[in-house]
Amino acid sequence: MNIECVRSKSRILLECISGSKAYGLDLPTSDTDIKGVFALSKKDFYGLTYTDQVNNETNDIVFYELKRFIELLVKNNPNLLDLLSSPEDCILFKDPVMNLIKPEMFLSRLCKTTFAEYAMTQIKKAKGLNKKISNPMEKERKSVLDFCYVVKEQGAISLNDWLIEKGYDQSKCGLVKIAHMNDIYGLYYDFDNTLKLKGVIHKEFANEVALSSVPKGIEPAGILSFNRNGYSVYCRQYKEYWEWVGKRNNERFENTVSHGKNYDAKNMMHVFRLLDMAEEIALYKKIIVRRPNRDHLLSIRKGDFMYEDLVKQAEEKIEYIYSVYEKSDLPDAPDKYRAENLLIAMRESLYSS
């Protein structure tokens, strides 16, 4: 089932402009996001296949089936609480049956986790982006050879430097494991092409050093150490970095780089929006979607603040939020029994009309 099918076969209960335009944080280049709620037809609902959510390819348009919508409200999902509290000028359509659902029926201490603690995960995400931007990785992938070192005098030099210094070819080298010493090898060289050694690695992007058989009595040309852990960490970071490069929003990335602060400013703006909303829920027991501090939030998005300062402010704010929730008389969680009865009543009303 897709968006078109939902519109033609199901009953749309709520359709709203969401995202930055609902928050009042949109820019001239901002897309229009749509979120909504639908109820499956009685036939589809009682059939074999239940569709809980549909979206378009870019996820700019998302509709939730009524049951899924209530389930996520019970979990205090921020996006769905926002949708239920949409500003009047963002509501494109609202079925009268939706008047049975009030945001205050679902607000609870869970919002401390879903709003505030989720915001902190976004800070960690921003830290990861900050690290990626500040420490870009070369496209040319390093090999096992770059993590091998050869003993020299009272220290060590890289295998690549050692090979250049000696005028040797890695393919004519051979390694023999030294007993009782992890990742330490005797390093042999086939000077006259008679030993048939396998090289330090047998192919360019091998993930392991190669071992050779060497006749007894031959002296090693050196002792080699393979930094296996360093190579493993590098491979993971290389994969993560270039997957991120492939998936990143380039327009958003260019904005991140252009303001010179090396953090995802849009992400950090939403961190503070979520923290503000978490605080308001505890203090006032309501969801304020349209942000009253638009100018301040947009200044964060523009990159007017240093990354470290924003992290410090966010950490201080979440400590304050925790204290506010400690004093709040919000329930620990929404009343599931009440939510279930509400869902049944809405479904009965929809299918009887």
Give the tens place of pLDDT for each residue, 165-175. 999 999 999 99
Task: Reply yes or no on whether the pLDDT at 270 is more than 80.
Answer: yes
Q: Do both 81 and 174 map to the same domain?
A: no
Q: Give mean pLDDT, residues 42-56.
A: 88
| 96 and 150 belong to one structural domain | no
- pLDDT at position 1 is 75
The model's confidence at residue 311, banded by pLDDT at 50, 70 and 90, is confident
Is 225 among the domain residues? yes
Answer yes or no: do 155 and 215 share one domain: yes
Is a pLDDT exceeding 90 seen at residue 297? yes
Domain assignment of residue 223, yes or no: yes
Q: Which residues pair with 38 in a beta bridge?
A: 12, 65
Task: Please give the residue range of the domain that contains residue 340.
Answer: 1-102+334-353
Cα(4)–Cα(15) distance, integer angstroms:
14
Whether 152 is in a domain gets the answer yes
DSSP category for residue 286: S
Q: What is the pLDDT, as a whole number, of residue 259? A: 52
Rounded to 5°, the CA angle 262-313-285 comes to 120
The residue among 51, 57, 64 whose CA lies nearest residue 16 is: 64
67 and 41 in contact (C-beta within 8 Å)? Answer: no
More confident residue, 139 or 255: 139
pLDDT at 130: 57
Q: Is pLDDT at 17 greater than 90 in this prediction?
A: yes
pLDDT digits (tens, 9 = 90+) for 204-227: 889 999 999 999 889 999 999 999
Task: List beta partners, residue 11.
Answer: 39
Q: Assess if residue 260 is contained within a domain.
A: no
pLDDT recorded at residue 128: 57
The last residue of a domain, from among 173, 203, 233: 233
Distance CA 64, CA 14 (A): 10
- Give the span between the Cα atoms of 221 and 160, in whole angstroms: 15
The reported pLDDT for the residue numbered 133 is: 63
Q: Does 93 lie in the same domain as 12?
A: yes
- The percentage of the chain sitting over the pLDDT mark of 70, rounded to a whole number, equals 92
Question: What is d(CA 111, CA 325) in angstroms, rounded to the nearest whole number?
Answer: 9
**CATH code: domain of residue 77:** 3.30.460
Report the candidate in 189, 192, 211, 193 with the shortest Cα–Cα distance to residue 201. Answer: 211
- In this structure, the answer to whether residues 87 and 157 fall within a common structural domain is no
> Where would I find the beta strands (DSSP E) of the chain?
11-18, 33-39, 53-55, 61-65, 91-94, 148-152, 155-158, 173-177, 184-189, 222-226
Residue with the larger pLDDT of the pair 221 and 249: 221
Please tell me the predicted confidence (pLDDT) of residue 9.
83
Q: Structurally, how many domains does the chain consist of?
A: 2
Q: Establish if 322 belongs to a structural domain.
A: no
Residue closest to 107 by CA, chosen among 287, 303, 338: 287
Is 53 inside any structural domain?
A: yes
Same domain, 155 and 93: no
Are both 149 and 95 inside the same structural domain? Answer: no
| Per-residue model confidence (pLDDT) at position 248 | 64
Confidence at 10, pLDDT banded by 50, 70, 90? confident
1 in the same domain as 97: yes
Residue where a domain terminates, one of 204, 233, 262: 233
The answer to the question of residue 242 being in a domain is no
For residues 90 and 154, membership in a common domain is answered with no
Q: Which helix (H) or strand (E) holds 133?
A: helix 118-134
- Per-residue pLDDT band for 265 (boundaries 50, 70, 90) equals confident
Using left for φ > 0, alpha for ψ between -120 and 50, and beta otherwise, residue 56 falls in beta
User: Average pLDDT over the chain, rounded to whole?
Assistant: 90
pLDDT for the residue numbered 117: 83
Query: Cα separation of 58 and 211, whole Å?
Result: 50
Of 233, 263, 280, the last residue of a domain is 233
pTM of whole model > 0.85? no
Tell me what pLDDT residue 90 has. 97
pLDDT at 127: 61
Residue 188 lies in a domain: yes
Render pLDDT for 89-144 as a digit per residue (tens, 0 to 9). Answer: 999 999 999 999 999 999 999 999 999 888 887 777 666 555 566 667 888 999 99
Q: Are 1 and 96 in a shared domain?
A: yes
Residue 97 shares a structural domain with residue 152: no
